Amino acid sequence: MDAPLNLVLFSGTDDRLNAAAVLAAGAAALGRPVNVFLQYWALDAFRADRIGADHGLAPEAGEAGRRAVDALREAGQVTWADTLRQVKGLGGIDIQACSLSMDLLHITEADLDPLVDGVEGVTAFYLNAGDGPVTFI
Amino acid sequence: MTITTTTADEIVDARGLSCPMPIVKTATLFRTLEAGKTVEVLATDPGSVKDFAAWARSTGNQLIASTQEGSVYRFLIQKS
């Protein structure tokens, strides 16, 4: 199982980011390399000053979805950011910010949470993706 | 088969944690564990039954026991 898991994160809502963190965790636990490329609103959610904020849910969640997510969190579910921090402890995960999105949001590397390993363009992302599938979330 | 806590070298208490944190905590411990050592994992996530079987098979570690007592799942895993 050497082909990396390649996740392109676009959405910045907590539910999608949590789903992505769970996928990354499962792959990393199996020793599979994980490449994460942060674009647009997902990148915005990784700003150091707001990574712990409430990032809302995807529109399809609705009110019932909001209540279900809140209940799980109150029961002690780990946040997506904390999940990713623990995955870092396993090694093998690389989180890169899309340089175009950095320009769009007018942010620099210093604005990002330490979870983010660096900034790269899409060509570098594809190079690291190798033969593994690319999943857009 | 009942596994008591005294049979394992290490314990991972992942009770109350949702998927995939029981596996992540266990995999993190296994990174620095010596070969031959055993770990007992306690979890309440129902998905952990299939997850630990798959994880052990994929990583080559030995799932010695997988049992359930009430709402708690117990796994005994030996590092290969």
DSSP A30-83: TT--EEEEE-HHHHHHTBTTTTTS-----GGGHHHHHHHHHHHHHTTPPPHHHH
Active site residue B19: yes
Backbone torsion region of residue B39, taken as left when φ is above 0, otherwise alpha when ψ lies between -120 and 50, otherwise beta: beta
What is the structure's pLDDT at B7? 81
Interface of B with A in 20-79 (CB under 8 A): 20-21, 23-28, 31, 55, 58-59
Q: Residue A1 above 60 pLDDT?
A: no
Q: What is the mean pLDDT of residues B12-20?
A: 93
ipTM of the complex: 0.82
Please report residues of A whose CB lies closer than 8 A to that of B23.
Answer: 25-26, 29
What is the structure's pLDDT at B2? 55
What is the structure's pLDDT at B6? 59
Q: Considering only the C-alpha atoms of chain B, give the largest distance between any 2 of them, rounded to a whole number of Å.
A: 31
**Minimum CA–CA partner of B45 in chain A:** A77
Please report residues of B whose CB lies closer than 8 A to that of A89.
Answer: 28
| Terminal-to-terminal C-alpha distance of chain B | 22
Contact (CB<8Å) A75/B16: yes
CATH code where residue B12 lies: 3.30.110.40
Q: Residue B3 above 80 pLDDT?
A: no
Task: Kindly name the residue from B19, B53, B54, B72 that is annotated as catalytic.
Answer: B19
pLDDT in tens, A9-60: 999 999 999 999 999 999 999 999 999 999 999 999 999 999 999 999 999 9
Please report residues of B whose CB lies closer than 8 A to that of A91.
Answer: 31
- How close does chain A come to B41, measured CA to CA in Å? 15
Into how many domains does chain B fold? Answer: 1
**Minimum CA–CA partner of B23 in chain A:** A29
From residue B60, alpha-carbon distances to A33, A119, B20 in Å are: 17, 35, 19
Q: Residue A2 above 80 pLDDT?
A: no
Q: Where are the domains of chain A?
A: 11-130
Of the residues A30, A72, A83, the best mutation for testing chain B's interface (the one with the most B CB atoms within 10 Å of its CB) is A30
- Contact by Cβ (8 Å): A17, A80: yes
Of B24, B55, B58, the CB nearest to A86: B24
**Which CATH fold topology does A11-130 show?**
Hypothetical Protein Ychn; Chain: A, (3.40.1260)
Could you tell me the residue range of the domain that residue B70 belongs to?
Answer: 5-78
Per-residue pLDDT band at A75 (split at 50, 70, 90): confident
Q: Considering only the C-alpha atoms of chain A, give the largest distance between any 2 of them, rounded to a whole number of Å.
A: 41
Q: What is the mean pLDDT of residues B74-79?
A: 97
**Pairwise CA distance, residues B69 & B75, whole Å:** 11
Please report residues of A whose CB lies closer than 8 A to that of B79.
Answer: none
